[in-house]
Homo-oligomer: A and B are copies of this chain.
């Protein structure tokens, strides 16, 4: 019997998952949480086999929550559940110790299969996630995010993230140990590649790409 705990800030979603898993004889939902506070107190008490963890739990970051939980309960498995298929989200979640990453595009059958796989000690990734990972793992290739067919370079992504974190060009130059003029150039390339007019457009794309959260 696999004991499952559901962490997601939307009660409708949790209720739906609970209802779905009621049909599975080898899976039992032992608890749920809509906030990190509930997550921490209830998981400590319930010690589930597996946590189904939404990575964007309202104001709480599922990535940090995962790291925190696994530090205290290393035997618990975490299966990430997300709408985000961008590699930055995936990698962060894996670094935090998650054993799987499931996209919300997946159907209930796939979710059940993922739960069983992860609970039995394997990893599980949605197909799209697997492809992203394979591409990343094959020889340590650079992450390249494709936007409108034009890839962003690793450095451009770094600059984009810092712009979205409200750093000025001068501050970015200092942090990356490069010239302001170089930051200028990256910034310009970003504007062109992303087809946006200014910083506002850049920030929107940074959020879309999962580089920062709102």
Contact = CB atoms under 8 A, between A and B. Distances in A.
Quick one: which of A17, A105, A107, A204 has the most chain B CB within 10 A? Answer: A204
Given A16-B15, A17-B12, A200 B163 contact: yes
Contacts of A203: 199-200, 203-204
Given A10-B104, A16-B17, A198-B199, 8 more contacts: A12-B106, A19-B23, A164-B200, A164-B204, A166-B201, A200-B203, A204-B207, A204-B212
A41 interface: no
Interface residues of A, number: 40
Nearest to A105: B11
A165 interface: yes
A14 to B, nearest CB: 8
A134 interface: no
A45 interface: no
A208 interface: yes
Interface string A139-174: 000000000000000000000000111101000000
